[in-house]
Amino acid sequence: MAIAITILVILVIGAIVGSTLNFAGVFLGIPIVLIFIGAVIGKEEIERQRKVLQMKRFRNDARAKKVDFSEADKRTMV
């Protein structure tokens, strides 16, 4: 909900600034909103990729590793 309000505020401010520059400047707010939406989506995508890479690292660290036991170790493990 906060993102929607922020987008509307940016759109209104862009429309006001654009209309002071020229009559067709009302559409100045649209690219500003699109840039903001792209930044929000990009940030979420980067965060998602970071979590995926972190899970892959955890999975690789948790993977069982092969250990070569000596004969003495094998006798004590029975």
Query: pLDDT tens, 41-56?
Result: 889 999 999 999 999 9
The whole-number pLDDT of residue 25 equals 58
Q: How far apart are CA 74 and CA 78, in angstroms?
A: 7
The whole-number pLDDT of residue 78 equals 60
Determine the distance from the C-alpha atom of residue 15 to the mean position of all C-alpha atoms in its chain, rounded to a whole number.
Answer: 29
Mean pLDDT, the chain, whole residue set: 81
Query: pLDDT tens, 29-39?
Result: 678 778 888 88
Q: How far apart are CA 58 and CA 72, in angstroms?
A: 33
Q: How far apart are CA 29 and CA 23, in angstroms?
A: 13
Domain boundaries of the chain, sorted by first residue:
2-60
Is the pTM higher than 0.85?
no
